Amino acid sequence: MSAKKILISILLTLPVFMTARAAEKQISVNTDDLSIILSVDKSGQLLFRHFGGYISDPDCFSGFKSYRRSDYGTDPLAYPASGGRYFNDAALSVEFPDGDLNCELLYKSHITERLDDNVTRTEIMLADAKGLEVTLVYTAYEKENVITAHSEITNTGRKPVMLRNYYSASLPVIAEKYYLTHFYGAWAMEMQVDRELLTHGSKVIESKKGVRTTHTENPSFMLSLNTETFDENYGEVIAGALAWSGNFKLNFQIDETDRLNILAGINPYASEYRLEKDRTFVTPDMIFTYSFAGAGQASRNLHDWARNYGLYDSSVMCPTLLNSWEGAYFDFDTKTITDMIDDVKDMGLELFVLDDGWFGNKYPRNNDKQGLGDWDVNRSKLPEGIAYLGDYAHEKGVRFGIWIEPEMVNPKSELAERHPEWVVKAEGRPVTTIRNQWLLDLTNPEVQDFVFGVFDRVMQEAPTIDYIKWDANRHVESFGSEYLDKQSHFWVEYVQGFYSVLDRIREKYPDVIIQACSSGGGRVEYGALKYFNEVWTSDNTEALSRVRIQYGTNLIYPACVTGSHVSAVPNHQTGNITPLKFRFDIACAGRLGLELQPKAMSAEERDFSKKAIASYKEYRDLIFNGDLYRLASPYDSDYYALMYVSKDKKRAVVFAYCIRYQGRALLPLFRLSGLDPALDYSIKELNVDKSCFWGSGKTFNGDFLVNHGINPKLGKIYDSAVFYLQAE
Ligand code: GLA
């Protein structure tokens, strides 16, 4: 830290109050390497001056002139409100009680507080004279180089104010070119990567589906500046992600000055919000970082922030597991399950998860057409109950988990018969089913109690439960709530209801590992991850498909949250047949699990699996806590290769996969860019009798591995390798 930075840090330990009316003032939000600088101009507008490299003295901006015509529009605003002289899409758009649709936010005061030796929080109060206050909250995480931003909107008038747009944050960026990386997909193909050069006008990334919001698009992005290429190691990259489990919208608009304005927040779609007097609406956090060393550093910043601040207890290392779904589906009894638990023990796994199908009596859940909502153990399938299974597992030293889907109900269920008023539906319109099920209306506090109760009852019934898989297998259609007066509150209040249930659950059950599943990766975002330890990355367990799914997901979300399972062949989703080793090598790059019937494995397969599971346990701390370096991209080459390196750079694990046959003449060369060139490393290929790399078993200088690299013989599709490196 420079002397100046130390001085600034000391000053920040005292709350700083600035009040309006001074001429021009500068406000800075700093991390170790980044600054946001905001200026209050003479008229009291809060202008956005800078987001990028660190600026030690924000007063350099005093007297700054943009040379923009002063009678036409405004300089970039920190939180633009619609009306007045602002023409672009606005962060805030309101209707005042007198019908006025203009809003003019002027600076009132600000305060910066140091929360601890790594985090500062800056709150800037703005107000419109007609009775609205907006506080912009920027939280700076210094060593991670991440800043989060959200707004808090308070009605200080006497009558309700209608909020139409209420985004979390606005980020103006100035560069020659803007190359956007974002995500698209569908069920079983989540987090596919799209890249495009932005042009004038707007590009929108959004969800209007509610609940299962991240199958098709994801509230996150990377933006490479001044280039038309995506580069892992070079160039300036802004990365961002929104922490919200509902409809979201990210808006990228390039205006006539070539400036890009990024808005991120709750989707305004059908969501006009009536803010009563004296009430405050708190928008979700937008998380962003800025890298000067390509996309790789941007990911590592987000991952560090996530592990330190953004995830629910990332210190818990996930046990390796067997999930019953693809191995048994709905077709099991007590013996099937206890046999699986025995297999978990025998194979060296640590947790067994009983998936769907264990409940329902009047309408037994023997398929996905009935029983959902009736959370009593199915007495004909499991007469001994689930507590018996939990005890059985624990006696063997195996942990026990179970599946629930508490927000949903089959029409054919006792719950739907008892509480038709709890179902999400629009008055006078048919209720659609998706996967034969309806959605419960979490805006209703009675439903919130019920959903909490499902979790609570299961936990009470079998206190041995260590892990819950929380599923949500539909999105919202023809939305409507019998409970709400104002239907446009539905989307927001559903999410608030969801979070309030999860708050109660986490208060009572802080140690249970909870997985967010939503038909696979339908809830992969940082709002849910404040409560869940992990996500089920995709229902697609096929290893080749997983290459792109995991590559994309881990651009934004760390591997310590991404569940990845080895399943049987032909794969149940794609029909593809891949070697067991390839399947393991893919699954081992995340939270390793198995999802198959172990009894169907040959002795040879079982033997291989045991070894792969044992070796994974030796290096999984690197997957959970290490730095991710991507060495080859499945979008730009015939390989996917990545490495995780310990923070002290003394240990690393490298994964490399050939994903297309590409002629005998070509072989890869991977530079192990995460290592320390000054150290010596031993390198050893795992899970093989004969290595595909001539150097396996040798020790190399770090500079050779970093600057030249390794050339494993991976020439055929599905060839793969895992290398373990240790500094000597
Ligand atoms: C969803 C999940 C699967 C499985 C089934 C059970 O599809 O994504 O992993 O749990 O539900 O019905």
pLDDT tens digit string along 333-345? 999 999 999 999 9
User: Do residue 95 and residue 192 come from a single domain?
Assistant: yes
What local confidence, expressed as pLDDT, does residue 69 receive? 83
- The alpha carbon of 471 and the centre of ligand 1 are apart by a number of angstroms equal to 7
Per-residue pLDDT tens digits for 293-330 = 999 999 999 999 999 999 999 998 889 999 999 999 99
Asked if residue 358 has its Cβ within 6 Å of ligand 1, the reply is no
Residues tagged active-site = 471, 539
Length of the chain: 728
Residue 73 binned pLDDT confidence (cut-offs 50, 70, 90): confident
**Quick check: 334 and 392 in contact, CB under 8 A?**
no
Asked if residue 403 has its Cβ within 6 Å of ligand 1, the reply is yes
For a pocket test of ligand 1, which of 321, 332, 356 has the largest count of ligand atoms closer than 8 A to its C-beta?
Answer: 356
Q: Reply yes or no on whether the pLDDT at 162 is more than 90.
A: yes
What is the rounded CA–CA span in Å between residue 58 and residue 141? Answer: 19
Mean pLDDT of the region 531-555: 98
Determine, yes or no, domain membership for 547: yes
Q: Whose CA is nearest to atom 12 of ligand 1?
A: 356
Determine, yes or no, domain membership for 493: no
Per-residue pLDDT tens digits for 99-155 = 999 999 999 999 999 999 999 999 999 999 999 999 999 999 999 999 999 999 999
Question: What DSSP string describes 109-170?
Answer: EEEEEE-SSSEEEEEEEEEETTTEEEEEEEEEETTTTEEEEEEEEEE-SSS-EEEEEEEEEE
User: Do residue 599 and residue 688 come from a single domain?
Assistant: no
Determine, yes or no, domain membership for 526: yes
- The alpha carbon of 538 and the centre of ligand 1 are apart by a number of angstroms equal to 10
User: Do residue 519 and residue 645 come from a single domain?
Assistant: no
Per-residue pLDDT tens digits for 383-425 = 999 999 999 999 999 999 999 999 999 999 999 999 999 999 9
Q: Reply yes or no on whether the pLDDT at 7 is more than 70.
A: no
Residue 322 in tokens: 């067997």
Tell me, rounded to whole angstroms, the distance of Cα 91 from its chain centroid.
Answer: 23
- The alpha carbon of 172 and the centre of ligand 1 are apart by a number of angstroms equal to 41
CATH code at 60? 2.70.98.60
Q: Taking the CA atoms of 532, 543, 303 and 214 in sequence, report the sign of the dihedral they define.
A: negative
What is the rounded CA–CA span in Å between residue 260 and residue 66? Answer: 16
What is the rounded CA–CA span in Å between residue 87 and residue 93? Answer: 12
For a pocket test of ligand 1, which of 211, 329, 403 has the largest count of ligand atoms closer than 8 A to its C-beta?
Answer: 403
- The alpha carbon of 404 and the centre of ligand 1 are apart by a number of angstroms equal to 10
Asked if residue 355 has its Cβ within 6 Å of ligand 1, the reply is yes
User: Do residue 603 and residue 470 come from a single domain?
Assistant: yes
**Quick check: 595 and 327 in contact, CB under 8 A?**
yes
CATH code at 466? 3.20.20.70
Q: What is the pTM of this model?
A: 0.96
Bridge partners, 727 (sequence order): 681
Asked if residue 325 has its Cβ within 6 Å of ligand 1, the reply is yes
Determine, yes or no, domain membership for 490: no
What local confidence, expressed as pLDDT, does residue 661 receive? 86
Asked if residue 324 has its Cβ within 6 Å of ligand 1, the reply is no
User: Do residue 643 and residue 609 come from a single domain?
Assistant: no
In the listed set 310, 338, 353, which residue is the last one of a domain according to the structure?
Answer: 310
Q: Tell me the Ramachandran region of residue 294: left when phi exceeds 0, alpha when psi lies from -120 to 50, beta otherwise.
A: left
Determine, yes or no, domain membership for 718: yes
Q: Which atom of ligand 1 is nearest to the CA of 539?
A: 8
What local confidence, expressed as pLDDT, does residue 23 receive? 61
Residue 354 in tokens: 């009983």
**Quick check: 314 and 306 in contact, CB under 8 A?**
yes
Asked if residue 470 has its Cβ within 6 Å of ligand 1, the reply is no
Q: Which atom of ligand 1 is nearest to the CA of 517?
A: 8
Determine, yes or no, domain membership for 656: yes
Residue 267 in tokens: 């989707």
Residue 21 binned pLDDT confidence (cut-offs 50, 70, 90): very low
Asked if residue 616 has its Cβ within 6 Å of ligand 1, the reply is no
User: Do residue 368 and residue 467 come from a single domain?
Assistant: yes
User: Do residue 585 and residue 645 come from a single domain?
Assistant: no
Mean pLDDT of the region 573-588: 98
What local confidence, expressed as pLDDT, does residue 666 receive? 80
User: Do residue 364 and residue 329 come from a single domain?
Assistant: yes
Kindly state the percentage of the chain with pLDDT values over 70.
Answer: 97
Residue 657 in tokens: 């996969």
21 or 258, greater pLDDT: 258
Amino acid type, 416: A
Asked if residue 520 has its Cβ within 6 Å of ligand 1, the reply is yes
For a pocket test of ligand 1, which of 326, 369, 517, 538 has the largest count of ligand atoms closer than 8 A to its C-beta?
Answer: 517
Bridge partners, 403 (sequence order): 469
Q: Which atom of ligand 1 is nearest to the CA of 355?
A: 10
- The alpha carbon of 540 and the centre of ligand 1 are apart by a number of angstroms equal to 11
What is the rounded CA–CA span in Å between residue 212 and residue 523? Answer: 6
Full residue range of the structural domain in which residue 60 is found: 3-310
Per-residue pLDDT tens digits for 263-292 = 999 999 999 999 999 999 999 999 999 999
- Helix boundaries (H) for 256-408: 294-305, 325-328, 334-347, 385-395
- The alpha carbon of 287 and the centre of ligand 1 are apart by a number of angstroms equal to 30
User: Do residue 600 and residue 634 come from a single domain?
Assistant: no
Residue with tokens 């860019």: 673
User: Do residue 554 and residue 692 come from a single domain?
Assistant: no
Least Cα distance to 231 among 698, 709, 630 occurs for 630
Asked if residue 517 has its Cβ within 6 Å of ligand 1, the reply is yes
Q: Reply yes or no on whether the pLDDT at 16 is more than 50.
A: no
Q: How many domains does the chain have?
A: 3
In the listed set 571, 591, 624, which residue is the last one of a domain according to the structure?
Answer: 624
- Tell me the C-alpha to C-alpha distance, in Å, between residue 461 and each of 391, 396, 402, 710: 12, 20, 12, 53
Residue 72 binned pLDDT confidence (cut-offs 50, 70, 90): confident
User: Do residue 574 and residue 639 come from a single domain?
Assistant: no
CATH code at 650? 2.60.40.1180
The 8-class DSSP code of residue 527 comes to T
- The alpha carbon of 520 and the centre of ligand 1 are apart by a number of angstroms equal to 7
Determine, yes or no, domain membership for 358: yes
- The alpha carbon of 612 and the centre of ligand 1 are apart by a number of angstroms equal to 26
Asked if residue 519 has its Cβ within 6 Å of ligand 1, the reply is yes
Q: Reply yes or no on whether the pLDDT at 20 is more than 50.
A: no
- The alpha carbon of 519 and the centre of ligand 1 are apart by a number of angstroms equal to 6
Please, what is the average pLDDT of the chain?
96
What is the rounded CA–CA span in Å between residue 719 and residue 713? Answer: 8
Determine, yes or no, domain membership for 426: no
Asked if residue 539 has its Cβ within 6 Å of ligand 1, the reply is yes
Task: Report the largest interatomic distance among the alpha carbons of the chain, rounded to a whole angstrom.
Answer: 79
User: Do residue 696 and residue 635 come from a single domain?
Assistant: yes
| Distance separating the N- and C-terminal Cα atoms of the chain | 31
What local confidence, expressed as pLDDT, does residue 665 receive? 74
Per-residue pLDDT tens digits for 686-709 = 999 999 999 999 999 999 999 999
Q: What angle separates helix 445-461 from helix 385-395, to the nearest 10 degrees?
A: 50
For a pocket test of ligand 1, which of 215, 325, 353 has the largest count of ligand atoms closer than 8 A to its C-beta?
Answer: 325
In the listed set 601, 624, 647, which residue is the last one of a domain according to the structure?
Answer: 624
